[in-house]
Chains A and B, each alone.
Chain A
Amino acid sequence: EDKVVQSPLSLVVHEGDTVTLNCSYEVTNFRSLLWYKQEKKAPTFLFMLTSSGIEKKSGRLSSILDKKELFSILNITATQTGDSAVYLCAVETGANNLFFGTGTRLTVIP
């Protein structure tokens, strides 16, 4: 059975801290791993990773994939209160759908 596990389940940090969110997976026919940020409603796309070891960056966010160890991390540096959200990891399989983890709820306090 396909599985995507995110850790921690929740995290509270102070503004300015750096956080690392983890996602491990066990799926058949891996195609890509995606990170989304979910605030109130729709998940908004952050990154799509298909190759090991290549870091993707967008501002203070970065992510990397390890296809040998079957995990990915999402880093957020210099966190701001606007980063408070649920961060979702999803794996796209050959079946043309996304299999989501339960998410990590990040709370950034001023």
Chain B
Amino acid sequence: EPEVTQTPSHQVTQMGQEVILRCVPISNHLYFYWYRQILGQKVEFLVSFYNNEISEKSEIFDDQFSVERPDGSNFTLKIRSTKLEDSAMYFCASSPRRDYGYTFGSGTRLTVV
């Protein structure tokens, strides 16, 4: 069964450093998303991406965050200057179209120290 692949599975970084989280969505999917889940809290929407541009973003997705689809397969989330409160599990998801179930990746656990 097709999967959304995320790397790395766990990343530890120092406060203030830049991190890039990588995702390979399912190949025929057109809609891409990033969500995060702080430990013990609910899953929160960050950003959606379609047709090579951001279609929606939440209040969490401030200027420290950016997304990119650098080639035909990868979808990345960059955090420019990490803060302690960015520590969370980051999930990538993709969907072939609107009104269709999203497939989530297994997540990247980001720990900012």
Contact = CB atoms under 8 A, between A and B. Distances in A.
B109 to A, nearest CB: 9
A102 B31 contact: no
Interface residues of B, number: 26
B25 interface: no
Contact of B33 (A36, A48, A97): A97
B33 A31 contact: no
B101 interface: yes
Given A44-B104, A98-B45, A32 B89 contact: no
Interface stretch (A18-26, A75-83, A88-96): A88-96
Contacts of A100: 42-45
Given A32-B99, A88-B43, A90-B43, A97 B48 contact: yes
Interface residues of A, number: 23
A7 to B, nearest CB: 14
A43 B102 CA distance: 10
A96 B106 contact: no
Contact of B91 (A32, A43, A95, A97): A43
Interface of B: 4, 31, 33, 35, 41-45, 48, 50, 55-56, 58, 89, 91, 98-107
17 contacts: A32-B99, A41-B89, A42-B107, A44-B104, A45-B101, A48-B100, A50-B99, A88-B42, A92-B99, A96-B56, A96-B98, A97-B33, A97-B48, A98-B35, A98-B102, A100-B44, A102-B42
Interface of A: 31-32, 34, 36, 41-45, 48, 50, 88, 90, 92, 95-103
